[in-house]
A = this chain, B = another copy of it.
Amino acid sequence: MNAKKAVERQTGVALWRQIADLIRLSISNGDYDQTGMVPPEIVLAAQFGVNRHTVRSALAALADEGLVQAIQGRGTIIQRKERLSFPISRRTRFSQGLGGQARETEAKLLAQAVLPAAGEVAAGLKIPPGASCIQLDLVSSADGRPVSCSTSFFPQGRFPAMAEEFERLHSITKAFMAQGLVDYVRVSTELVARHADAAELALLRLSPGAIVIEATAINADPEGVPVQFSRTRFAADRVKLKIDT
């Protein structure tokens, strides 16, 4: 197991950031669970083959994220290590999926708009290009930490009060129910991973260089008629996607 932790120079990614990423990974892998602490700076410096100050920069970044806390004289203790397991299946729903893993989940409406469906959205929802659809931008959090941000489109003809119902109920599932749709299933999901852009860094409170997993999904009613086209970006270091087939 004991994989050699290698960092590369002259790559455009600063050593301290590479090291921060590796330590974050080790933490979420449970490598330091025995002590609940990160190894001493000198040890890490030796492991990575860099100067102690470089390791300190990495740990400072992790402390900034709230992942660890350094205490003079004692060491650097681990504050958090969870990676939420997020199910993707025919019945994917945000809040249910996290059942038990987080004390509190929240979905916050950032923006809403009514606009003509175009290209990808119209095709996904199977409505004619130009037909009105409702766009909702959300940020979802678990225990106060943002986990994902999403942009969803709904056909306005069928769900005219989507925005209002969501604001009232704070749940897509409940907003669907309030408008007469009691059940829906996931019909397709596409995943892509990339670096977070500036907007996502801000929304998800990520540190620059962080990774997001972008899931483009379509939900449909039991008859197979699409009801939602969504694009959700997950903070990759906070989630694990579990695919149930």
Residue interface mask A180-191, B partner, CB < 8 A = 1: 000001111111
A-to-B contact residues, CB < 8 Å: 3-8, 11-14, 16-18, 20-22, 25, 61, 83, 85, 88-90, 185-195, 197-199, 201, 207-209, 211-213, 236-237, 240-245
Q: Tell whether A194 pairs with B25 under 8 Å between CB atoms, given A243-B188, A245-B90.
A: yes
Are B189 and A245 interface neighbours, CB within 8 A? yes
- Beyond the given pairs A11-B207, A12-B17, A195-B211, 17 more chain A to chain B contacts, judged by CB atoms under 8 angstroms and listed by A's residue number, are A8-B208, A11-B208, A12-B13, A12-B20, A12-B61, A12-B208, A12-B209, A13-B209, A14-B14, A22-B197, A89-B245, A189-B243, A190-B241, A194-B236, A194-B237, A243-B243, A245-B245
Among residues of B, the one whose C-beta sits closest to the C-beta of A245 is B90
Bound complex: CA A211 to CA B211 (Å): 8
Q: In terms of DSSP, what is the predominant structure of the interface of chain A?
A: mixed
Q: Tell whether A13 pairs with B193 under 8 Å between CB atoms, given A8-B198, A88-B243.
A: no
Bound complex: CA A20 to CA B209 (Å): 13
Are B192 and A240 interface neighbours, CB within 8 A? yes
Residues of B within 8 A of A16 (CB): 12
Are B25 and A17 interface neighbours, CB within 8 A? no
Bound complex: CA A237 to CA B193 (Å): 7
Are A17 and B21 interface neighbours, CB within 8 A? no
Q: Tell whether A208 pairs with B13 under 8 Å between CB atoms, given A194-B21, A194-B236.
A: yes
Which of B17, B83, B191 is in CB contact (< 8 Å) with A243? B191
Are A188 and B242 interface neighbours, CB within 8 A? yes
Residues of B within 8 A of A245 (CB): 88-90, 185-189, 245
Bound complex: CA A5 to CA B22 (Å): 27
Bound complex: CA A87 to CA B95 (Å): 26
Q: For residue A238, give the distance in angstroms from its CB to the closest CB of chain B.
A: 10
Bound complex: CA A58 to CA B239 (Å): 30
Residues of B within 8 A of A208 (CB): 8, 11-13, 18
